[in-house]
């Protein structure tokens, strides 16, 4: 029926405004009734993001799209850093603690298409969202010609978010000086390897991202540019930096833009939440903007599911508590890198010496690469992370990301891994046995089914028989025990975003139940 000028009234669990990589990732992972819309009538002609990080690939692996992304993308092998015509340092991308490459290159448009194919429903384009009101039970928004009442509204509508502005949430920070240019160029005689991303450290801030189709994504400062950079200007930048006289034969995806460094003062206002560029904006120098937004999406998806089921307020409160400090730190670090990239004179010479010292050993390089790709991100101070571990405990501590390990053996003899366990879009309880009989661990795991997915890991060649609803896995080489730090018997509550929510040693049913109750899961 028509109501107050609307064509119809619609109810939905979650309304997502914005169908870029962040909104699409959220929709793919959400697992509840939702509607995803975008005010633009079609996808943007200019493809901005290309740098996809290992942590994003790990999260897309939960959704089942990571292998397709890898098949379409080009792995980045390293970043040589040049200053004054000399290579002053190099970041080699091998050896990171992930089953995925540290970074791969794929245009945003192609990534969006892969994500869209994994949606249960479609994307409604040319459909703006206007916030009407909200109360303690939901949000009312005008979506095109519809009146939509949603349990929650997530603003993934970009740097210039109309929903953030409507809520009056300050977007604190500023803009970097100058105009910046981007284009995808077909270059003859390019002297660097197909997976190398050279960065040239001077006032032009020039770097070149290799693309899967053999073109190069050129990014450089161009204060005099209009709406689009000219190929002649890009050729001049190449002539000043790249040896061997490579020539641009053609270019597409040309655009100019300003670069921002901003973080929203709040990531949540009642039942409206901000994610991605609507919550934080940063320089593209380190390729972290979209990837940080993807982590927002996976952090939020499972919390929205619990909130719709009546979870305590602390669950959604934890979204801002966990993700805003990450955004602040990432914006600050990327800003420092941006500023360092464009130094000149004595300051540039001092920077070069510092880089050479900071990246002098493989261990230093590995730590820098993993940090730049957000693999160490943890939520130790989160209001919904708990438990403890003995002093000096090894392995994964509460709040940290769980990395892959294996093999672990199923009852049918199939070898699996922690990576495959993490694909389950559910809270999980993992119980690792050491000296205690497996029967105790199996009984503890059974106690919490079906509220969580329960798995028992035993040190054996074959797993024992397990009660209904519990999976027993053998860890013959102690790879999973070692990764988790299960020197003694231990219990772990694993979040759907792959971070450890709770750990206790020895396993204690009352403590596990108390933690699950804190996040609204009864057992």
- Tens digits of residue pLDDT in 419-438: 999 998 899 999 999 876 79
Alpha-carbon dihedral 511, 58, 375, 156, rounded to 10 degrees = -90
- Of the segments 118-127, 171-180, 285-294, 470-479, which one has the largest average pLDDT value? 470-479
SS3 assignment, position 408: strand
Beta-sheet strand order (sheet of 171-175): 171-175, 260-264, 280-281
Task: Calculate what percentage of the chain has a pLDDT beyond 90.
Answer: 82
Residue 168 has pLDDT above 90, yes or no: yes
Q: How confident is the model at residue 10 (pLDDT cuts 50, 70, 90)?
A: confident
Tell me: the pLDDT tens digits for 440-472?
999 999 999 999 999 999 999 999 999 999 999
Tell me: the pLDDT tens digits for 247-264?
999 999 998 888 889 999
Residue 304 has pLDDT above 90, yes or no: yes
Largest CA distance in the chain: 73
- Helices (H) and strands (E) counted in the chain, each on its own, are 14, 29
Q: What is the pLDDT of residue 33?
A: 93
User: Could you tell me if 302 and 425 are in contact, meaning their C-beta atoms sit under 8 angstroms apart?
Assistant: yes
Q: What is the pLDDT of residue 346?
A: 93
Q: What is the pLDDT of residue 2?
A: 42
Greater pLDDT, 336 or 499: 499
Residue 45 has pLDDT above 80, yes or no: no
Q: How confident is the model at residue 1 (pLDDT cuts 50, 70, 90)?
A: very low
Q: How confident is the model at residue 5 (pLDDT cuts 50, 70, 90)?
A: low
Reference 521, options 447, 448, 442; nearest CA is 448
Tell me: the pLDDT tens digits for 472-502?
999 999 999 999 999 999 999 999 999 999 9
User: Could you tell me if 407 and 415 are in contact, meaning their C-beta atoms sit under 8 angstroms apart?
Assistant: yes
Residue 367 has pLDDT above 50, yes or no: yes
What is the rounded CA–CA span in Å between residue 313 and residue 258?
38
DSSP string, 57-88: HHHHHHHT-HHHHHHHSEE--EEEEEETTEEE
Q: What is the pLDDT of residue 522?
A: 82
Q: What is the pLDDT of residue 363?
A: 96
Q: What is the pLDDT of residue 338?
A: 87
Q: How confident is the model at residue 179 (pLDDT cuts 50, 70, 90)?
A: confident
Q: How confident is the model at residue 4 (pLDDT cuts 50, 70, 90)?
A: low
Q: What is the pLDDT of residue 491?
A: 96
How large is the average pLDDT for residues 13-35?
95
266-270's contacts with Cβ under 8 Å and 24+ in sequence apart are 266/169, 266/320, 267/319, 267/320, 267/323, 267/324, 268/316, 268/317, 268/319, 268/320, 269/167, 269/169, 270/134, 270/136, 270/139
Residue 294 has pLDDT above 80, yes or no: yes
Summary mean pLDDT of the chain: 93
Greater pLDDT, 285 or 372: 372
H-type helices in 215-358, by residue range?
Answer: 231-241, 289-308, 313-341, 345-358
Residue 183 has pLDDT above 70, yes or no: yes
């Amino acid at each position: 029926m028509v109501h107050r000028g609307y064509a119809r009234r619609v109810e939905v669990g979650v309304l997502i405004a914005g169908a870029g990589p962040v909104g699409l990732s959220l929709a793919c992972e959400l697992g509840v009734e939702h509607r995803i819309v975008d005010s633009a009538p079609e996808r943007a002609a200019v493809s901005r993001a290309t740098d996809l990080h290992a942590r994003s690939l790990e999260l897309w692996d939960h959704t089942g799209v990571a292998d397709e992304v890898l098949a379409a993308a080009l792995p980045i092998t390293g970043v040589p850093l040049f200053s004054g015509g000399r290579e002053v340092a190099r970041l080699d991308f091998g050896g990171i603690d992930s089953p995925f490459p540290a970074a791969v290159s794929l245009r945003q448009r192609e990534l969006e298409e892969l994500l869209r194919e994994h949606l249960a429903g479609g994307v409604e384009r040319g459909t703006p969202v206007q916030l009407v009101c909200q109360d303690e039970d939901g949000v009312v928004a005008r979506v095109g010609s519809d009146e939509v009442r949603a349990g929650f509204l997530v603003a993934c509508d970009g740097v210039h978010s109309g929903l953030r502005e409507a809520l009056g949430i300050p977007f604190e920070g500023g803009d970097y000086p100058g105009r910046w240019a981007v284009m995808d160029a077909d270059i003859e005689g390019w002297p660097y390897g197909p997976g190398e991303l050279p960065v040239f450290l001077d006032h032009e801030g020039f770097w070149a991202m290799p693309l899967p189709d053999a073109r190069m994504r050129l990014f450089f400062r161009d204060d005099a540019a209009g709406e689009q950079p000219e190929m002649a200007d890009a050729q001049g930048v190449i002539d000043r930096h790249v040896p061997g006289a490579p020539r641009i034969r053609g270019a597409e995806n040309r655009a100019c833009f300003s670069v921002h460094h901003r973080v929203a003062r709040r990531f949540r206002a009642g039942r409206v939440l901000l994610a991605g560029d609507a919550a934080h904006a940063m320089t593209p120098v380190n390729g972290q903007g979209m990837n940080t937004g993807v982590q927002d999406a996976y952090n939020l998806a499972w919390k929205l599911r619990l909130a719709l089921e009546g979870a305590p307020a602390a669950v959604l409160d934890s979204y801002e508590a966990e993700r805003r400090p990450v955004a602040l730190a990432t914006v600050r670090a990327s800003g420092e890198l941006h500023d360092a990239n464009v130094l000149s004179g004595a300051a540039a010479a001092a920077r070069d010496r510092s880089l050479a010292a900071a990246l002098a050993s493989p261990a230093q390089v590995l730590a820098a690469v993993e940090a730049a790709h957000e693999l160490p991100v943890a939520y130790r101070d989160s209001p919904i992370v708990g438990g403890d571990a003995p002093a000096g405990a090894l392995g994964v501590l509460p709040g940290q990301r769980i990395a892959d390990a294996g093999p672990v053996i199923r009852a049918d003899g199939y070898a699996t891994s922690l990576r495959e366990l993490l694909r389950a879009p559910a809270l999980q309880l993992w119980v690792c046995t050491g000296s205690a009989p497996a029967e105790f661990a199996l009984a503890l795991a059974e106690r919490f089914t079906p509220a969580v997915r329960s798995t028992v890991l035993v040190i054996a060649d074959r797993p024992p028989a397990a009660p209904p609803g519990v999976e027993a896995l053998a860890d013959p080489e102690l790879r999973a025990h070692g990764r988790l730090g299960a020197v003694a018997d231990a219990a772990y509550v694993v979040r759907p975003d792959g971070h450890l929510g709770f750990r206790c040693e020895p396993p204690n049913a009352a403590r596990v139940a108390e933690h699950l109750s804190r996040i609204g899961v009864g057992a």
